[in-house]
Amino acid sequence: MPKAAIFDLDGTLLDSVDLHALAWHEAMVKFGHHVSFEQARSQIGKGGDKLVPVFLSSDEQREHGKDLEEWRANRFKTEYLPLVRPFSAVPDLLRRVRDAGLRIAVASSAKKDELETYLDIARISDLVEVATSSDDVEESKPSPDVFEVVLKKLGFEGSDAVAIGDTPYDAIAAGKAKVATIGLLCGGFTESSLRHAGCIDVYPGPASLFAGFEDSLLAR
pLDDT band at 180 (very low <50, low <70, confident <90, very high): very high
The pLDDT of residue 133 is above 90: no
Question: Are 25 and 40 in contact, with CB atoms under 8 Å apart?
Answer: yes
What domains sit in the chain, N to C, each tagged with a CATH number? Answer: 4-16+85-219 (3.40.50.1000), 17-82 (1.10.150)
Q: What is the C-alpha end-to-end distance of the chain, expressed in Å?
A: 5
- How confident is the model at residue 113, as a pLDDT? 80
- How confident is the model at residue 107, as a pLDDT? 94
Mean pLDDT of 64-84: 96
CA–CA separation, 57 vs 133, rounded Å?
Answer: 25
Report the percent of the chain where pLDDT is more than 70: 100
- How confident is the model at residue 18, as a pLDDT? 97
Strand, helix or coil for residue 79: helix
- How confident is the model at residue 142, as a pLDDT? 92
For 150-160, the pLDDT digits (tens) are: 999 999 999 99
**For the whole model, what pTM was predicted?**
0.94
The pLDDT of residue 109 is above 80: no
Nearest alpha-carbon partner for 165 in 154, 173, 177: 173
- How confident is the model at residue 111, as a pLDDT? 78
pLDDT band at 75 (very low <50, low <70, confident <90, very high): very high
What sections of 35-162 are H helices per DSSP?
37-41, 48-55, 58-60, 66-75, 90-99, 112-121, 145-154
- How confident is the model at residue 135, as a pLDDT? 82
Averaged pLDDT score across all residues of the chain? 96
Cβ-Cβ contacts under 8 Å for 155 (sequence gap 6 or more): none
Mean pLDDT of 158-185: 98
pLDDT band at 134 (very low <50, low <70, confident <90, very high): confident
